[in-house]
């Protein structure tokens, strides 16, 4: 009997449940897709290092899934509580007929189970289908072979999805039971007759608050875009707080402000149902300032996350070409003594002995045929002395810099390279070369924030003293360049000095820069495989030799790009669903009031066509309002991110923005259309 009642209830209120259903199905499908990626990536044929990265990605994705499940849990509970509110009168009737609260709770329980099961099944089916497409994206991302396509179904993801959603539904049941047990009969029966009080805001106050919010936002925008490079983290925090408060004030005041503005324009105000639309939107936004702010900020986050994540991968690969001009860079500690330590562990006898020999000797020891496999070899010696630490290079500026950046390692010795050795490297890399007079030094760096600090010091003409000789800076700023190959600009500073004989103890490290002799990718990979073989790893405690290679840097950065992209898309979509669903529910929550209002309009003789148009405009404004604010925020947010990360190419950014727009249109637009259709059928004359 109860089961029948539940079933009938759902059938009857299918309109109310559409948004709820839609959200659940989407949530289940997305949760499944991102958790099924593990199974898909296992099947890919990729190198070992990529496998490690994929493993890391999957661990991170499942970590993010926990966070996502919390967001979805809150969303589902929120949605179910909203539906509960709409059905208060129905419960009131049950209770007047003598049904106990326990029984009502049981009806709700059955309903939750029913809806939960159906949405899980549909969501999983959709998820399975879509995840096939996802596997193509994954393979593409990791540049793996996708010659043989196979249907992948992840039982692990299935189990996980069912478990997580069952926990969420269980929470919904608890919340439903609590809210039923707290109900009073009188409230249930009079639930529909809420007294309507419209909070009217003082128009002058509205205008003042509006101007204030625009000023606040403008100031924050200015800070993050124009002043971005000199921004400290405290200022940035202030800007974020300003942005949040500014957004809140904007929503608090804008509708009142716009209303006043339109009322001044008599023709517009008196046209068709404009005044009705205005008042509807005004009253709606006035009562949902807080949610509108949250939704708008969530959309802002979504847009920034999606567009940044999508373009990050592309731009990361772009940097690589410039920053890895050679195939391999081998490095080894030089002149180790028994008192030297590596993170507290003393070096072994063999390592100390090995540190006194050139890198090529070590390679022979490793049984690596460097004569045949390596070409274009360049040796670089890195010197360091405790006479020249970072503190020393800052000279008189040290005190001021330390106050601003207390975390820098001021006591670490700075790397010193002879200019002629650097020039050899620079030539090979295609970077500019330099000449230094006998008493001159210069600094090569490309890590932005460090460059700024060093430029301050160099402008002052800070001198360095090495072996009793004083050196003047040749240039008032750092020059770009690097020795170590990497995925990003991370050279914090190398001091170049004129060629001279430096004491052997000062030698800290030796580098061997080379290309592989192999012509094709496969040949190169084969050479690299010899270096990365197990026999070589067995030598770990006999030498301090380490290598960074073009291939491994490429793989790592592609992998990192993929991780950022997938997590970005995952979170972005979840945020998007959450904000759109809350917005849709807010709109539908007033549908019973709206029904009366539109009925009234019909009695006044308004066309059905005009009623539909009015409803459409009303809902469109309600949906567009937070979106437009979010888009404006995002323009500045993305500008800020792009200058901070310095990795975006404009062309790539455009394509990622287009992708973001597609996501937005599909999900946000989907919610909008469903909301409109639901509202339309709710206000239609037929019961």
**Using CB under 8 A as the criterion, which residues of the chain lie in contact with another protein when the complex forms?**
195-198, 200, 266-267, 269-276, 279-280, 282-283, 593, 597, 600-610
Q: Pseudo-torsion of CA 122, 128, 131, 135, nearest 10°?
A: 180
C-beta closer to another protein: residue 196 or 522: 196
DSSP string, 431-476: -------TTEEEEE---HHHHHHHHHHHHTT--EEETTEEEEESSS
Cα–Cα nearest to 302, from 573, 107, 687? 573
C-beta closer to another protein: residue 115 or 588: 588
Tokens of 400: 């001021």
Alpha-carbon distance of 518 to 527, in angstroms, equals 7
Least distance (Å) between residue 670 CB and another protein: 28
C-beta closer to another protein: residue 130 or 275: 275
Cα–Cα nearest to 303, from 627, 565, 72, 74? 627
Least distance (Å) between residue 619 CB and another protein: 15
> Residue written as tokens 């403008």?
218
> Residue written as tokens 């072994």?
348
C-beta closer to another protein: residue 273 or 305: 273
Helix/strand/coil (H/E/C) assignment for every residue in 590-609: CHHHHHHHHHHHHHCCCCHH
Least distance (Å) between residue 591 CB and another protein: 14
Tokens of 647: 């990795």
Least distance (Å) between residue 87 CB and another protein: 23
C-beta closer to another protein: residue 52 or 607: 607
Least distance (Å) between residue 680 CB and another protein: 17
Least distance (Å) between residue 617 CB and another protein: 15
Least distance (Å) between residue 291 CB and another protein: 18
Least distance (Å) between residue 268 CB and another protein: 9
C-beta closer to another protein: residue 155 or 197: 197
C-beta closer to another protein: residue 150 or 197: 197
C-beta closer to another protein: residue 4 or 264: 264
CB 35 within 8 A of CB 160: yes
| φ, ψ for residue 265, nearest 5 deg | -90, 90
C-beta closer to another protein: residue 148 or 686: 686
C-beta closer to another protein: residue 11 or 266: 266
Least distance (Å) between residue 602 CB and another protein: 8
C-beta closer to another protein: residue 122 or 289: 289
C-beta closer to another protein: residue 271 or 371: 271
C-beta closer to another protein: residue 75 or 278: 278
Least distance (Å) between residue 138 CB and another protein: 50
Residue 444: other Cβ atoms inside 10 A: 24
Tokens of 677: 């259709």
Alpha-carbon distance of 107 to 103, in angstroms, equals 6
Alpha-carbon distance of 683 to 279, in angstroms, equals 18
C-beta closer to another protein: residue 97 or 604: 604
Give the DSSP H or E segment for 92.
Answer: helix 88-96
- Own/partner long-range contacts of 640-648 (Cβ < 8 Å, ≥24 apart): 640/224, 640/225, 640/228, 641/304, 641/308, 643/225, 643/228, 643/229, 644/228, 645/308, 645/312, 645/315, 646/448, 646/489, 647/312, 647/315, 647/316, 647/318, 647/319, 647/488, 648/311, 648/315
Least distance (Å) between residue 599 CB and another protein: 8
Residue 192: other Cβ atoms inside 10 A: 12
- Own/partner long-range contacts of 60-65 (Cβ < 8 Å, ≥24 apart): 60/563, 60/567, 61/34, 61/35, 61/37, 61/566, 61/567, 61/570, 62/35, 62/38, 64/34, 64/567, 64/570, 64/571, 65/31, 65/34, 65/35, 65/160, 65/164
- Own/partner long-range contacts of 220-225 (Cβ < 8 Å, ≥24 apart): 220/246, 220/636, 221/636, 224/636, 224/637, 224/639, 224/640, 225/636, 225/639, 225/640, 225/643
Least distance (Å) between residue 579 CB and another protein: 25
C-beta closer to another protein: residue 529 or 610: 610
Contacts of 68 (CB under 8 A, 6+ apart): 31, 570, 571, 574
Contacts of 347 (CB under 8 A, 6+ apart): 333, 336, 338, 340, 341, 355, 544
Burial of residue 267 (CB within 10 Å: 0-12, 13-18, 19+) is exposed
Least distance (Å) between residue 35 CB and another protein: 45
C-beta closer to another protein: residue 522 or 685: 685
DSSP string, 277-342: HHHHHHHHHHHTHHHHHHHHHHHHHHHHHHHHHHHHHHHHHHHHHHH--SSEEEEEE-S--TT-EE
């Amino acid at each position: 009997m109860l089961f029948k009642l539940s079933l009938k209830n759902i059938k009857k209120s299918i309109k109310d449940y559409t948004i709820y259903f839609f959200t659940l199905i989407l949530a289940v499908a997305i949760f499944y897709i991102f958790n099924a990626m593990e199974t898909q990536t296992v099947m890919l044929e990729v190198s070992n290092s990529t496998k490690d990265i994929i493993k890391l990605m999957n661990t991170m994705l499942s970590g993010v899934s926990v966070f996502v499940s919390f967001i979805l849990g809150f969303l589902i509970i929120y949605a179910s509580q909203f539906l509960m509110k709409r059905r208060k009168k129905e419960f009131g009737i049950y209770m007047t007929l003598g049904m106990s609260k326990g029984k009502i709770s049981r009806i709700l329980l059955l309903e939750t189970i029913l809806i939960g099961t159906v949405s899980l099944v549909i969501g999983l089916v959709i998820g399975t289908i879509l995840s096939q497409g996802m596997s193509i994206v994954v393979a593409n991302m990791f540049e793996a072979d996708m010659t043989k396509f196979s249907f992948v179904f992840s039982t692990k993801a299935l189990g996980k999805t069912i478990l997580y959603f069952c926990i969420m539904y269980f929470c919904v049941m608890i919340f439903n039971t609590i809210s039923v047990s707290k109900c009073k009969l009188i409230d249930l029966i009079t639930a529909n007759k809420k007294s309507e009080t419209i909070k009217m805001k003082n128009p002058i106050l509205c205008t003042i608050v509006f101007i204030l919010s625009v000023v606040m936002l403008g100031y924050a925008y200015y800070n993050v875009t124009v002043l971005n490079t000199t921004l400290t983290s405290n200022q940035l925090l202030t800007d974020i707080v300003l942005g949040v408060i500014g957004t809140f004030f904007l929503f608090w005041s804008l509708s009142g402000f716009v209303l006043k503005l339109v009322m001044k324009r008599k023709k517009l105000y008196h046209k068709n149902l404009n005044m009705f639309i205005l008042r509807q939107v005004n009253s709606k936004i006035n009562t949902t300032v807080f949610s509108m702010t949250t939704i708008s900020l969530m959309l802002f986050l979504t847009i920034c996350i999606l567009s940044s994540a999508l373009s990050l991968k592309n731009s990361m690969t772009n940097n690589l070409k410039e920053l890895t001009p050679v195939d391999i860079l081998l490095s080894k500690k030089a002149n180790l003594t028994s008192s030297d330590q590596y993170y507290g562990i003393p070096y072994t006898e063999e390592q100390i002995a090995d540190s006194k020999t050139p890198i090529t000797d070590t390679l022979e020891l490793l049984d690596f045929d460097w004569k045949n496999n390596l070409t274009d070899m360049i040796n670089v010696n890195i010197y360091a002395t405790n006479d020249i630490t970072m503190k020393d290079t800052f000279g008189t500026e040290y005190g001021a810099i330390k106050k601003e950046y207390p975390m820098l390692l001021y006591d670490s010795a700075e790397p010193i390279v002879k200019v002629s050795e650097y020039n050899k490297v620079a030539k090979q890399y295609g970077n500019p070369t330099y000449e230094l007079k006998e008493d001159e030094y210069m600094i090569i760096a490309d890590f932005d924030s460090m460059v700024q600090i060093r430029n301050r010091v160099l402008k002052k003409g800070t001198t360095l003293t090495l072996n009793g000789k004083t050196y003047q800076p040749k240039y008032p700023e750092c020059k770009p360049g690097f020795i170590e190959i990497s995925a990003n600009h991370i050279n914090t500073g190398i001091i170049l000095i004129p060629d001279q004989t430096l004491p052997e103890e000062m030698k800290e490290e030796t580098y061997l820069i080379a290309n592989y002799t192999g012509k094709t990718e496969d040949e190169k990979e084969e050479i690299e495989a010899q270096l990365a073989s197990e026999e070589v790893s067995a030598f770990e405690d006999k030498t301090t030799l380490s290598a960074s290679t073009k291939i491994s840097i490429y793989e790592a950065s592609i992998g990192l790009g993929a991780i950022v992209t997938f997590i970005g898309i995952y979170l972005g979509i979840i945020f998007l669903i959450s904000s759109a669903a809350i917005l849709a529910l807010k709109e539908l929550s007033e549908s019973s009031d709206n029904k009366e209002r539109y009925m009234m309009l019909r009695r006044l003789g308004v066309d059905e066509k005009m009623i539909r148009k009015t409803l459409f405009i009303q809902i469109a404004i309600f949906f567009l309002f937070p979106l437009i604010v979010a888009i404006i925020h995002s323009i500045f947010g993305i500008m800020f991110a792009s200058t901070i990360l310095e990795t975006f190419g404009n062309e790539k950014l455009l394509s990622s923005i287009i992708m973001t727009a597609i996501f937005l249109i599909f999900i946000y637009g989907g919610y909008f259309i469903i909301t409109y259709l639901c509202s339309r059928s709710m206000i239609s004359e037929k019961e």
